[in-house]
Structure 1
Amino acid sequence: MTQEHLTEELLHRLLSSSNVKTYLDAEHLDGRSFSEYLWVLLNERRMKRSTLARESGLNPTVVYDIFSGKSRPGRDHAIMLSIGLNCDLRETQRLLRLAGVSELWCKQPRDAIIIWCIEHGFDLAATDDELQRLGERPLLQSK
């Protein structure tokens, strides 16, 4: 996947443009959908949907429905998908945005723990262990 600009960089370019059309023409903004972005991540990792279902802790039918665009995941399911895909924080935040849910926010204790786990490459079980150890609701209970 090509390196995408940070939102802050794009905002700066938008605000410094002489008009919005110039900005839109120059930036080649990507209007991809949530399911399209999931396919990109899945293909980059050379992973099958069945493997993602296992790694994310989600029911395979739920995963297939999300990929087909039949359903949209809630916030915890989107986080679980990102962990199953071994996404970094930037990819996770983009995935959450495209899912139409709030991004992880480091001022919220549960989100801070999840951010830390993502940055340290924790899988779902290790992330849930860390959440429980610190008195927060684990992701797997939200299925």
Structure 2
Amino acid sequence: MAITHHLTEDLLARLLASTVIDEYLKGFDIADRALSDYLNELLQSHGIKRADVVRGSGINATVVYDIFAGKSNPGRDHAIMLAFGLKCDVVETQRLLRMAGVSELWCKIRRDAIILWCIQQGFDRAETDDELYRFGEKTLLATGRLR
């Protein structure tokens, strides 16, 4: 079951082309969407279980379950780690980060560029941490610089 979404650029173009805001709001069922709903959709579409996310992300199980239940929001690194646990591609990762209320990965930031590249290559969280460490960047499970 694939998750289908309108591209943000398409929605923005349609919004700006609307002469009346009501047309846009009615036409696309625009509403705030909960992060927990998106995470559960990803679980289903990727055919994995929360326990797989815990193992793949490296995040404490209680924290993962609280995020999935909507009891808490992840910080940026935890959101990135969740994306690895969920086996997200780049688009899904960026959407997850936006929905978590944190900044997206940006290719002009060295650490972010490494993470983006690792996601594109299909690396898991541990392999990504190895790459971050190799380049002297803060790993997802560590604090502070490693230089």
Normalised by the length of structure 1, the TM-score is 0.94
> How many residues are aligned here?
142
Q: Does the residue aligned with 1:138 lie in a helix, a strand or coil? A: coil
CA distance in 1, matches of 2:105, 2:52: 25
Match of 2:109 in 1: 108
Match of 1:74 in 2: 75
Judging by fraction of residues, say which structure has more helix.
1
CA distance in 2, matches of 1:14, 1:115: 29
CA distance in 1, matches of 2:31, 2:123: 29
Match of 2:121 in 1: 120
| Unaligned stretches of 5+ residues in structure 2 | none
Q: Which amino acid is the alignment partner of residue 37 of structure 1?
A: Y
Deviations 1:24-76 (A, max 9, x none): 11112353200110011011122111111011001111111111111111000
Normalised by the length of structure 2, the TM-score is 0.92
| Unaligned stretches of 5+ residues in structure 1 | none
CA distance in 1, matches of 2:47, 2:3: 17
Q: Does the residue aligned with 1:130 lie in a helix, a strand or coil? A: helix
Q: Percent identity?
A: 60
CA distance in 2, matches of 1:84, 1:134: 22
